[in-house]
Structure 1
Amino acid sequence: MKNNSVQTKAKFKDLMSHKNYLLFFTGQAISQLGDKMTLIAVPLLIYHLTNSPIQLGMAFLIESLPWIFLGPIAGTIIDRFNPIRILVLVDVVRVLLCLTLFMTDSIVMIYAIGLLSQTCSCIFAPARSAIFPDLTGKKLFNKGLTLSLTTGQLIDVLGPSIATLCISIFHGPRFIFVIDAVTFTISAVLTSLIVLQQASIQKQNSSFQSRFKEGYRFINKNKKVKFLLIIGLIRTIATSAIPILLLLQAKYIFGNELGDRYYGFLVSAVAFGIVTGSWIIGIIDRNTLRKNYIIFGIMVQSIIYAIIYYTDNIEILLGLFFLSGVATSGTLTPVSSFYAEYIPREIRGRVFSAINSILQIMGMIVYFTIGFFAEFIQPNKLLLGIGCLMTVSILLMTWIFKGWSLLRNDEENKSKKIVAN
């Protein structure tokens, strides 16, 4: 009982003694700032060059392809090699891609850079997920994850705002790509200083085909992970559609020049909502409420998207998108903590690669669909449709998979074990 008591008293300041976590946390925070600025710059650049929602959707669709074709095997590669070296190499490649993006005016080249950039990301993401628990240890995992996610989401607020300022100062989004290149350079240097125990890096002797299938087999057999993946698929409908629809909605209501500015504000509102929600979850810090955060969070998020259809007031829109961010936070830290607890270390890379690939396939479908329909349907009507679709989907999938009972039973069993000890 004593150990359990100590574990519940773990505090954020305890993370300061973990050098590896601090190096990783700092590098990721800096590189994420550049990423969020680029997230604003790239859609604006593409839309300014083409003035076409289809071309904008095509860019997002192309960026999904690596997750479909390389994503499934990325985890298999990661589980056989040193993930730290992989992370550093990927950052170096992304420095070169950002500098190339700064110098080109070709839409085809922009598409190609997006393809290569996401190829790097689909390798980076499972490697990052695989090593994260080793950076903090089990006792501080939830605190480390919450701090990283909350900081990243705070950067989600600052990034678009700084990007909007840079666009005004430099009369366009292009210089942002140089800033992003600098952030990746810093991230690569800091990550290279991380030293993990050799036991944390395991090599597999089974065949490539067997390792490739193992991630999908694990998802298929683990009911809770499968249901959480379903939640992720529903959430992906929003995360894939919103980058396109936010830009189109801002321009549709406020015009081109003012729309660019409000686009950054709306993105910041979502991110600020996620920060607020994650902070609240971190303060409460009760695992028995995770099912509430996840299921109710995505339901509230979908309802808000439907409500947005009825207003074009910027203050109300900012408030609604802020609330959507708060609701979205319920599917971030809680879901990640479930994954970390129930996916064995030795196959994390493969399982996370499988999860990412499946989610990206859904994202590609959404990008194509939104880009197509946005040519002749107003963005607020598409948001209404997305809200209705998500509401029906979460209710139906929770009922079919008995997700509420699945998550509740798991938490109740864990609580009983703690009391018994």
Structure 2
Amino acid sequence: MPLPNAFRALAHRNYRLFLVGQGVSMMGTWMQTTGLSWLVYKLTNDSFLLGLVSFCGQIPAFFLSPLAGVMSDRFDRRRTLFVTQTISMIQAVSLVALTWTGHIEIWQIIALSAVLGMVNAFDMPTRQAFLSDMAPTRVDLPNAIALNSSMFNLSRLIGPVIGGAILARWGATACFLANAISYTAVIAALAAMTNLPIRVAPRLGRVSSGLAEGFKYAFGFAPIRALLMMIAMVSLLGMPISTLLPVFAKDVLHGEAQTFGYLLAASGAGALTGALYLANRRSVVGLGKPIGGAAVTFGASMIAFSFSQSVLLSCGILLIAGFSMLLTLAGCNTLLQTIVDDDKRGRVMSLYAMAFMGTVPVGSLLAGTLANQFGAPLAARINGVLCIVGAAAFILRLPALRKQVLPIYQRVGLVPPITAAVEAVAELQAAPEDA
């Protein structure tokens, strides 16, 4: 039977396997994240070290993701994911052993976070590019991306709640153990996949040549460049606020581990709603305006959250923040994967990972420093204002960017030729008003 529009990518068996396996694994990841953040703050009572742990766990993506993109375009993506998921499991087992024996120290947490960061630098761009192998049609790919975001944020909703309950009852060790076990689901899903499309790897020559070609292609085309800059801005200014949630939970809202879990879950619920909104869209055409509006809303939500003294109100604000953040980041990802050339997909996705994950550690370190000096609420306000300014700049450029992607939409069949002509005329007529 035909699937509803919001779930049309599930018609592909390999994608169904991936979604289930990855969903279980991501719930375990959020349990570990919940336990690790609380453990760091409990051991040190230092918001700067919270930012430092996040920095060490994500900064490898900034340096290694471009290399990972070249590898993604050259090598078998499923095999690469087998390796990255296995190493991630070993990292979780190491945390279990250290906390179980009572020998855990902050330098060990930082070192293991850095290891996981290096693994994720190769895992994330490969996983994003692998979506086109599991849902190979251009029509289904945006829906696959949106459902993948839905799965991520459903796990973000469920994982912290379960993680908070496990943390309160059995401690951080149990959170790490749950994550280690959860990796078996995604490894089994990868092993069960069949009939994946055979990709002919391009002859890229030297790695440096492949890197240079990828950078030139991405930053030489204004729409791709603008989307990457939007992702980098939101990740730099907005995502690091999650690093400070233990500070808000304990010092501002005067709660405990369960309160921290509620805040994470509220943000995850909003993001899940945003992902379902994207999944229900029939086309990516016209998505630029909602992305810009969502970025403005996200900045305003951060400012509002910084003033809240109520757990219930804070959860409500984070619900809106999660929705707008997801719509901005996943919307940009969807547009990128729609307009990018197939032979450069891995390298563009590596730049996406670089913008998404690579800038977060810098922002986390900055947010941790600002929180130490001026308090977490002021740090959130500063980042919120800067996010609104950056979103406004993106919105002003939308008319020009829309004209540049219109021929691509027409070429891949998303916009009929007559519609493209009407859109072009409308843009020309609206140009004086936009100016």
**CA distance in structure 2 between the partners assigned to 1:267 and 1:13 by the alignment:** 26
**CA distance in structure 1 between the partners assigned to 2:370 and 2:9 by the alignment:** 47
1:351 positional shift: 1.8
1:397 positional shift: 4.6
From the superposition, tell whether residues 70 and 380 of structure 1 become closer, same or farther in structure 2 (CA, over 3 Å): same
**CA distance in structure 2 between the partners assigned to 1:202 and 1:240 by the alignment:** 34
Answering whether residue 398 of structure 2 is matched by residue 403 of structure 1, we say: yes
Answering whether residue 328 of structure 2 is matched by residue 334 of structure 1, we say: no
What is the aligned counterpart of 1:23 among 17, 20, 24? 17
- Aligned-partner SS, 1:374: helix
Answering whether residue 235 of structure 2 is matched by residue 241 of structure 1, we say: no
Structure 1, residues 26-61: CA drift from partner, whole Å, max 9, x if none?
A: 111111111111121111111111111111111111
The answer as to whether partners of 1:143 and 1:282 remain within 8 angstroms in 2 is yes
Q: Greater shift after overlay, 128-137 or 159-168?
A: 128-137
**CA distance in structure 2 between the partners assigned to 1:360 and 1:145 by the alignment:** 17
The answer as to whether partners of 1:62 and 1:115 remain within 8 angstroms in 2 is yes
Q: In structure 2, what is the equivalent of residue 3 of structure 1?
A: none
Q: In structure 2, what is the equivalent of residue 82 of structure 1?
A: 76
From the superposition, tell whether residues 66 and 19 of structure 1 become closer, same or farther in structure 2 (CA, over 3 Å): same
Answering whether residue 99 of structure 2 is matched by residue 102 of structure 1, we say: no
From the superposition, tell whether residues 93 and 361 of structure 1 become closer, same or farther in structure 2 (CA, over 3 Å): closer
**CA distance in structure 2 between the partners assigned to 1:196 and 1:212 by the alignment:** 30
Structure 1, residues 139-163: CA drift from partner, whole Å, max 9, x if none?
A: 3222222222112211111011000
- Aligned-partner SS, 2:309: coil
The answer as to whether partners of 2:305 and 2:314 remain within 8 angstroms in 1 is yes
1:238 positional shift: 4.0
Structure 1: segments with no counterpart, 5+ residues = 1-6
**CA distance in structure 1 between the partners assigned to 2:404 and 2:345 by the alignment:** 24
1:285 positional shift: 3.1
**CA distance in structure 2 between the partners assigned to 1:273 and 1:201 by the alignment:** 40
Q: Greater shift after overlay, 172-181 or 411-420?
A: 411-420
After TM superposition, the score normalised by the length of structure 1 is: 0.90
Structure 1, residues 274-304: CA drift from partner, whole Å, max 9, x if none?
A: 1112223333434333112210000011011
- 1:296-335 equivalent positions in 2, closer than 5 A: 296-335=293-332
**CA distance in structure 2 between the partners assigned to 1:243 and 1:63 by the alignment:** 14
From the superposition, tell whether residues 361 and 152 of structure 1 become closer, same or farther in structure 2 (CA, over 3 Å): closer
- 1:12-411 equivalent positions in 2, closer than 5 A: 12=6, 14-104=8-98, 105-138=104-137, 139-170=139-170, 172-197=171-196, 199-255=198-254, 258-399=255-396, 402-407=397-402, 410-411=405-406
- Aligned-partner SS, 2:75: coil
**CA distance in structure 2 between the partners assigned to 1:205 and 1:375 by the alignment:** 47
From the superposition, tell whether residues 408 and 282 of structure 1 become closer, same or farther in structure 2 (CA, over 3 Å): farther
Instruction: Supply the AA of the counterpart residue of 1:232.
Output: I
The answer as to whether partners of 2:339 and 2:405 remain within 8 angstroms in 1 is no
- Aligned-partner SS, 2:278: helix
1:253 positional shift: 2.0
**CA distance in structure 2 between the partners assigned to 1:247 and 1:64 by the alignment:** 18
The answer as to whether partners of 2:25 and 2:183 remain within 8 angstroms in 1 is yes
From the superposition, tell whether residues 11 and 403 of structure 1 become closer, same or farther in structure 2 (CA, over 3 Å): closer
1:209 positional shift: 1.1
- Aligned-partner SS, 2:290: helix
The answer as to whether partners of 1:308 and 1:320 remain within 8 angstroms in 2 is yes
After TM superposition, the score normalised by the length of structure 2 is: 0.88
The answer as to whether partners of 1:12 and 1:144 remain within 8 angstroms in 2 is no
From the superposition, tell whether residues 107 and 309 of structure 1 become closer, same or farther in structure 2 (CA, over 3 Å): closer
Q: Greater shift after overlay, 346-355 or 79-88?
A: 346-355
From the superposition, tell whether residues 420 and 57 of structure 1 become closer, same or farther in structure 2 (CA, over 3 Å): closer
* Count of aligned residue pairs for this structure pair: 409
The answer as to whether partners of 1:153 and 1:271 remain within 8 angstroms in 2 is yes
From the superposition, tell whether residues 219 and 341 of structure 1 become closer, same or farther in structure 2 (CA, over 3 Å): same
**CA distance in structure 2 between the partners assigned to 1:420 and 1:301 by the alignment:** 31
Instruction: Supply the AA of the counterpart residue of 1:143.
Output: N
1:97 positional shift: 0.8
**CA distance in structure 2 between the partners assigned to 1:354 and 1:63 by the alignment:** 18
From the superposition, tell whether residues 71 and 283 of structure 1 become closer, same or farther in structure 2 (CA, over 3 Å): closer
**CA distance in structure 2 between the partners assigned to 1:410 and 1:418 by the alignment:** 15
Q: In structure 2, what is the equivalent of residue 4 of structure 1?
A: none
**CA distance in structure 2 between the partners assigned to 1:181 and 1:282 by the alignment:** 30
The answer as to whether partners of 1:85 and 1:192 remain within 8 angstroms in 2 is no
1:242 positional shift: 1.5
From the superposition, tell whether residues 346 and 50 of structure 1 become closer, same or farther in structure 2 (CA, over 3 Å): same
1:361 positional shift: 4.1
The answer as to whether partners of 2:253 and 2:310 remain within 8 angstroms in 1 is no
Instruction: Supply the AA of the counterpart residue of 1:407.
Output: R
Alpha carbon RMSD of aligned pairs, Å? Answer: 2.3
The answer as to whether partners of 2:292 and 2:394 remain within 8 angstroms in 1 is no
**CA distance in structure 2 between the partners assigned to 1:244 and 1:23 by the alignment:** 31
**CA distance in structure 1 between the partners assigned to 2:41 and 2:179 by the alignment:** 20
- Aligned-partner SS, 2:285: helix
From the superposition, tell whether residues 97 and 209 of structure 1 become closer, same or farther in structure 2 (CA, over 3 Å): same
**CA distance in structure 2 between the partners assigned to 1:304 and 1:14 by the alignment:** 32
**CA distance in structure 2 between the partners assigned to 1:155 and 1:198 by the alignment:** 28
